[in-house]
Structure formats: structure tokens, C-alpha cells
């Protein structure tokens, strides 16, 4: 991966040199990919490092201003675009900053992260792109300076940062199986949300948003007919893929392919735009419930793409889980990291330098099952259910939260959904959401946990959009919670680990803003997910893809645990080791281990996987037991 790191402000006393600190911080960035360049500058009161894809970023230094940018930035004025071509993107950034300050983002698009420092004035700017493809973490040093980096580990490498794992961070991870922005698992380190900037000056900082999805009630209000919208979708998709492939060698391009709508669309558009036969990569499983290779094969055949598959089994998982857990700068519990890595590794072995991914389509065009579920839920007698939930909850809650039956837990979760407003309702069947931390966490850890805090962050994102339409608000939330916090982190880190770059054609600003104009009742019509998208591309996509249900690169981890003794032993060893961390009560973990060994139902979906990943991550990042 590429990334930035640096600081503005005084260094701790006794630090030998800023160059050494900057080198340590740069070494803690994510694994690098081929064709990158590095540049650094340090001096009195500041340091700045950038690792960027050659020709797509760098560092620009003037006496009173340092500017760094990485990613695939695109400038909106001819003068800035010309400067980027002739003097580099960082020089264009410096010019835009001098002229417009924090308003420069109206001229900047594409995936990026950037930093501008005025060392003498002690001020500057940090920001990431509109969809959070790139990341930026930051913290305040003991001396009052600002320290930043693409990863938490880069920030922690600065001698002025003393960041410890918090019980709140552990709780947030167990609740969402990721560490959602703007917080991190560390006390004193935060991260930017998509389209967020941070301005700092002499020890003070403020954040703001320079863009958000332009949803509005009514969309186009029915002004554009279906045929016109369909034609525009096709044109916008082609434009997005054309932009993505500009300046790329067609012979080194490949694509993830699950056979679903988005990966198939990307493959088809890549074939149309490049005129070459794209190479595609997928994983296959022996478990029919997870294996989707028949759809991927059909999609590849439809476009004449070169099809490659990898048979993924429990031995792969056993080998890769510790390595993958260690690769992340925060614990990351999406189990599809393993299939994503195997695809990327296979692509690298075939000489692919850039992989195209279909992430973002569901969040832009109404493709997540919960949209339909919540529309139906709202349409029913919500008021009556809320009253019923309040009444019956008095009797069911004690049974559901104190080790009661699975039936009681399911009944309580359903009743909770009726009593909750969105977006909290989305977590109603989440085991950790319903559980009082005092039941599972140690007293010391439980005392630090604010159960409402992670949900409050979700509410803020859900309500920030100007639209009151349920589907648009949920898509707005998912662009952060499902995409930026989760899917992009998965694919970015796994492709970097495999030594391959990745791009996301769906995350094109013009395509996204077009999707925001489509009325939600057109996107999801009569309870049919992706209805508009499927109708618009019915003559472009293969029939197998149009008929396919959403799945993705899931992995049959629970099934493998039952069949593979070594994998089960790894999981149980990690759970046993986690007993000494001081977060969860030992009897609680003992019960999970014993129940799992006897194939009894687990209290929550994925609980064994999540705790295993958390323990392996703690071990890899040298956090001794009780270090919180």
C-alpha cells in the first residue's frame, strides 16, 4: 500500500534525530506494492514522508510549505492538471493550498490522502478521499504536536505518542468486528472519516467534511425516464472504468470475479474499454453453500475473459490466519480476508500488477439485504410492535441476556427491533449489542465501556445526509460502516500483502453523484434489490449474474472448525490465551471453549473467529497480557 506519515510540533527531549523517527514511522506503514517511490523531509518542528505509486504522488518542498499526496488524484482545473503532469501532484497540491486553503477539495477528486505542513507557522492540513479508500490516523503528542500516519502503528512509532489498547476499543471491535472510524482501538489515536479534513495550527485542530453524497428527497423527482437513466448509467460506468485504466498497461490488469453484479460489470466494462481479454480470479470451496465458482465461470465465458480459480481449504486458513491478523494495524475480523488474499496472491503469480474490484456497487445502487428488510419492517405496524416490545421485554430480556435459550434470544432480538429506531435497529440481533458488558467483561474493563458510544457514531453518519429516505440514509451509513471501515480495509491490505495494486471503478465521484440522483424507490423497486441496475444492464450482463443472489467471498470457517482438528486447536489456544488479557471474564471464555468443543450453539455469530483474531493481533503487535 501507499501512505503518508509525519508530524508538526516539537519532539520529545533526547530524541537523536527527526530522520530516524521518520524512518521508524515509515517502516510501520502497510506493506508496500511494486512501482512505488518514497520521499521524506524533516526539520525543526516537522517531518513528512510519502510512499506513492510512481507518477501518482510525491513530496513537494518549499521554504515555508511542504506538501505530500498519494493515491490516484485527479485535478479539476486545467492549470492544476497541467502542473501535476509537469511538476508532480504534490506541486499542484501546494499551489491549490496556497490559493484556496481548505477549499482546495472542489478541485480535487479520485482516491488520495494528503498532508500540507507550514513548518514555520506550525499549521497545516490533512485529508482523505471521499470514500475512504485511503486512511489517515492522528494523535496529539505529549509535547502538544500533531502526529499522523496512514496506520495506527505509524503514529505509535513516534516517540511522543504513548497509546494503549482500550477496553472500549476491544468492545467496539467485538460489536462490529472492525474498529470503526473515527476512533481506533488505541487511546489517543483517531482516524479521519471519508471526505473529512483536519486543519491544525499551533496545538489546536478542527475537523470538517468537504463533501458528502448529494442525496436529496425525491432524487430527480421522476424527471428522467427509465431509459435515459439506463443510458446514463452505462455511460458513467464506462467513463469510470476508462479513468481507472488510464495510463495502465492492459497486459498487467486483472480483476476479482465472484460472478456477482459488480465484479461482473467491472470485468465487462474493462473488456469494452481496453479491448483486451481481462484476467479474472476467484476462489472455490468444497462447501456448496459458499462456492460460487459457477457464476464466476459463466461471467468469464460471457466476456471471453481468462478465468483462474484457487481451491481454498482449511489448510490455507491454518497457514494464513496468523499472518493476516498480524498484517492489520488494528484487529480486523472480516473472515473473507483469506479468500481476498488468495485471489490477490494468485493474480500476482500471473504477472498482474493492478486488480480491479467491484466494491461500492451495493452501497451506491441499493444492493444490501437490510434495505429491503427495513423497508418491510417500517411498512408494518411499527407502533404496535413497539408497545408489545416494551411489555414483553420485561419478561424476555432476563432470559435472553443471562445465558438463556437460543429461542429466547431470538425472540428478544425481534422485539428489540420493533422498539428501536434506525440505525440502532440494525444491531438488534448482535449478541454484544444485547449483552450488558458486566456479564462478559471483567469489572475493570466493563467500567471503561460506554455501550452507547459506538452506536452514537453510527447515528451521526446515518443522520448527516440531507435525505430523509430510509434507503438513502442506510446507503449513506453503509458507505462508511460497510465500505470504508470494512470492505476497503479488507481488499486494500490483502492486495498490498500480495504485492498487487487495487482500484475501485465504482468509487468514481461522477458515478456516485449520478447514483444519488436516482430516487430510492427506483433503485429498490417492489422489494427487489438492485432493480434499476439490473434492468438498466440486462442486455450487458450474463443471465446467470442477473439471477444470482448476493453472496461475496465468504469462507466456511465454522464448518472447517468442525472438521479440522489443527484449526480448532488454534482457535481454542487463542481463546485460552485471551483469558489472561484482562478484558473478558475467564468463566465466560471457558464456557465458550467448552460449548464449542462440544459443538453446542455459540452465543453470537463469529464469536470464536473474532476473539481468535483479536488475540493473534495482540500477540503480533507485542501487547503483553494486561497491557490495556
User: What is the structure's pLDDT at 555?
Assistant: 87
**What SS3 class is residue 528?**
strand
Beta-bridge partner residues of 501 = 354
User: What is the structure's pLDDT at 552?
Assistant: 63
pLDDT digits (tens, 9 = 90+) for 493-539: 999 999 999 999 999 999 999 999 999 999 999 999 999 999 999 99
User: What is the structure's pLDDT at 287?
Assistant: 77
Q: Which of 182, 176, 230 is nearest to 207 (CA)?
A: 182
How far is it, in rounded angstroms, from Cα 54 to Cα 71?
Answer: 10
Calculate ∠ Cα 443-448-453, nearest 5°: 130
Helical packing angle, 261-274 and 293-303, nearest 10° = 20
- End-to-end, the C-alpha distance of the chain in Å comes to 29
Per-block average pLDDT, block size 10, for the chain (628 residues)? Answer: 93 88 93 86 93 96 97 98 98 98 98 98 97 98 95 97 96 98 98 98 93 85 77 98 95 96 98 94 87 94 97 96 98 97 98 97 97 89 62 62 62 64 92 94 98 97 95 98 98 97 98 97 93 97 92 81 93 96 97 88 85 98 64
- Per DSSP, the residues of 96-141 read HHHHHGGGGGGGEESSEEEEEEETTTTEEEEEE-TT-SS--EEEE-
Rounded to whole angstroms, what are the CA distances from 230 to 242, 346, 534?
18, 35, 10
The burial class, CB within 10 Å (0-12 / 13-18 / 19+), for 223 is: exposed
User: What is the structure's pLDDT at 33?
Assistant: 81
Q: What's the half-sphere exposure (Cβ side, CA atoms, 13 Å) at 359?
A: 25
For the chain, how are helix, strand and coil distributed in percent, rounded to 5? 50, 15, 35
User: What is the structure's pLDDT at 628?
Assistant: 45
Cell of 541: 450482463
Cell of 296: 464466476
How many other CB atoms are there within 10 angstroms of residue 51's CB atom? 24
How far is it, in rounded angstroms, from Cα 233 to Cα 514?
Answer: 8
Q: Which of 324, 351, 325, 336 is nearest to 258 (CA)?
A: 336
User: What is the structure's pLDDT at 377?
Assistant: 87
Q: Cβ neighbours of residue 596 under 8 Å, at least 6 residues apart?
A: 561, 571, 572, 602, 608
pLDDT digits (tens, 9 = 90+) for 235-251: 999 999 999 999 899 99
| Element (DSSP H or E) covering residue 37 | strand 36-43
- Using an 8 Å Cβ cutoff, are 26 and 100 in contact? no
**What SS3 class is residue 186?**
strand
25 φψ region: left (φ > 0), alpha (ψ -120 to 50), beta (else): alpha
How far is it, in rounded angstroms, from Cα 617 to Cα 185?
Answer: 12
Domain residue spans of the chain: 3-209, 557-620
How far is it, in rounded angstroms, from Cα 589 to Cα 604?
Answer: 13
- Upstream peptide bond of 423 is cis (omega within 30 degrees of 0): yes
The burial class, CB within 10 Å (0-12 / 13-18 / 19+), for 372 is: middle
Q: Cβ neighbours of residue 383 under 8 Å, at least 6 residues apart?
A: none
- Using an 8 Å Cβ cutoff, are 61 and 94 in contact? no
Calculate ∠ Cα 401-402-404, nearest 5°: 90
How far is it, in rounded angstroms, from Cα 202 to Cα 124?
Answer: 10
Cell 488524484 appears where? 73
- Per DSSP, the residues of 558-581 read HHHHHH-HHHHHHHHHHHHHHGGG
Q: What's the half-sphere exposure (Cβ side, CA atoms, 13 Å) at 502?
A: 31
Q: What is the 3-state secondary structure (H, E, C) of 225-277?
A: CHHHHHHHHHHHHHHHHHHHHCCCCHHHEEEECCCCHHHHHHHHHHHHHHCCC
How far is it, in rounded angstroms, from Cα 590 to Cα 587?
Answer: 5
Please check whether the domain covering 3-209 is classified as CATH 3.40.50.10330. Answer: no
Amino acid at each position: 500500500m501507499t501512505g503518508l506519515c509525519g508530524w508538526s510540533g516539537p519532539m520529545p527531549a533526547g530524541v537523536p534525530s527527526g530522520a530516524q523517527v521518520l524512518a521508524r514511522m515509515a517502516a510501520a506503514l502497510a506493506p508496500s506494492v511494486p512501482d512505488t517511490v518514497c520521499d521524506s523531509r524533516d526539520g525543526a518542528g516537522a517531518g513528512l514522508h510519502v510512499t506513492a505509486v510512481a507518477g501518482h504522488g510525491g513530496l513537494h518542498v518549499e521554504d515555508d510549505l511542504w506538501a505530500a499526496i498519494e493515491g490516484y488524484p485527479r485535478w479539476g482545473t486545467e492549470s492544476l492538471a497541467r502542473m501535476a503532469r509537469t511538476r508532480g501532484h504534490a506541486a499542484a497540491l501546494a499551489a491549490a493550498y496556497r490559493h484556496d486553503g481548505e477549499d482546495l477539495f472542489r478541485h480535487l477528486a479520485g482516491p488520495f490522502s494528503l498532508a500540507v505542513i507550514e513548518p514555520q507557522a506550525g499549521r497545516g492540513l490533512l485529508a482523505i478521499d471521499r470514500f475512504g479508500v485511503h486512511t489517515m490516523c492522528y494523535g496529539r503528542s505529549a509535547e502538544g504536536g500533531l502526529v499522523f500516519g496512514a496506520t495506527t502503528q505509524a503514529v505509535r512509532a513516534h516517540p511522543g505518542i504513548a497509546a494503549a489498547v482500550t477496553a472500549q476499543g476491544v468492545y467496539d471491535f467485538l460489536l462490529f468486528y472492525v474498529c470503526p472510524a473515527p476512533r481506533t482501538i488505541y487511546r489517543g489515536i483517531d482516524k479521519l472519516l471519508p471526505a473529512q479534513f483536519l486543519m491544525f495550527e499551533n496545538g489546536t485542530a478542527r475537523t470538517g467534511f468537504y463533501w458528502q453524497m448529494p442525496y436529496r428527497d425525491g432524487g430527480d423527482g421522476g424527471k428522467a425516464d427509465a431509459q435515459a437513466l439506463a443510458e446514463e448509467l452505462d455511460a458513467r460506468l464506462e467513463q469510470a472504468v476508462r479513468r481507472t485504466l488510464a495510463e495502465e498497461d492492459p497486459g498487467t490488469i486483472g480483476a476479482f470475479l465472484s460472478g456477482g453484479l459488480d465484479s461482473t460489470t467491472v470485468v465487462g466494462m474493462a473488456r469494452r474499454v481496453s479491448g483486451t481479454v481481462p484476467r479474472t480470479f476467484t476462489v472455490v470451496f468444497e462447501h456448496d453453500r459458499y462456492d460460487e465458482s459457477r457464476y464466476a465461470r459463466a461471467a468469464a465465458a460471457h466476456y471471453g475473459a481468462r478465468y483462474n480459480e484457487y481451491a481454498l481449504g482449511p489448510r490455507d486458513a491454518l497457514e494464513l490466519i496468523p499472518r493476516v491478523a498480524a498484517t492489520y494495524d488494528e484487529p480486523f475480523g472480516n473472515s473473507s480476508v483469506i479468500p481476498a488474499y488468495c485471489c490477490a496472491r494468485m493474480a500476482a503469480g500471473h504477472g498482474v500488477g493492478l486488480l480491479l474490484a467491484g466494491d461500492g456497487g451495493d452501497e451506491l445502487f441499493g444492493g444490501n439485504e437490510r434495505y429491503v428488510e427495513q423497508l418491510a419492517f417500517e411498512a408494518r405496524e411499527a407502533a404496535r410492535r413497539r408497545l408489545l416490545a416494551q411489555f414483553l421485554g420485561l419478561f424476555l430480556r432476563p432470559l435472553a441476556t443471562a445465558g438463556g435459550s437460543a429461542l429466547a434470544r431470538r425472540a428478544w432480538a425481534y422485539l428489540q427491533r420493533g422498539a428501536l429506531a434506525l440505525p440502532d435497529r440494525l444491531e438488534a440481533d448482535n449478541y454484544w449489542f444485547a449483552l450488558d458488558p458486566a456479564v462478559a467483561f471483567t469489572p475493570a474493563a466493563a467500567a471503561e465501556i460506554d455501550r452507547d458510544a459506538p452506536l452514537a457514531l453510527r447515528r451521526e453518519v446515518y443522520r448527516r445526509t440531507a435525505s430523509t429516505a430510509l434507503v438513502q440514509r442506510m446507503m449513506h451509513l453503509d458507505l462508511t460502516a460497510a465500505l470504508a471501515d470494512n470492505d476497503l480495509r479488507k481488499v486494500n491490505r490483502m492486495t498490498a500483502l500480495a504485492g498487487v495494486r487495487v482500484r475501485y471503478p465504482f468509487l468514481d465521484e461522477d458515478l456516485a453523484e449520478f447514483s444519488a440522483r436516482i430516487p430510492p424507490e427506483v433503485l429498490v423497486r417492489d422489494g427487489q434489490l438492485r432493480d434499476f441496475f439490473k434492468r438498466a444492464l440486462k442486455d450487458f450482463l450474463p443471465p446467470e449474474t442477473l439471477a444470482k443472489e448476493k453472496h461475496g467471498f465468504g469462507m466456511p470457517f465454522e464448518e472447517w472448525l468442525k472438521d479440522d482438528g489443527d484449526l480448532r486447536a488454534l482457535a481454542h489456544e487463542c481463546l485460552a490465551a485471551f483469558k489472561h488479557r484482562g478484558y473478558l471474564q475467564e468463566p465466560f471464555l471457558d464456557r465458550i471453549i467448552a460449548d464449542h468443543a462440544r459443538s453446542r450453539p455459540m452465543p453470537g455469530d463469529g464469536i470464536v473467529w473474532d476473539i481468535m483474531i483479536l488475540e493473534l493481533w495482540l500477540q503480533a503487535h507485542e501487547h503483553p497480557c494486561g497491557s490495556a
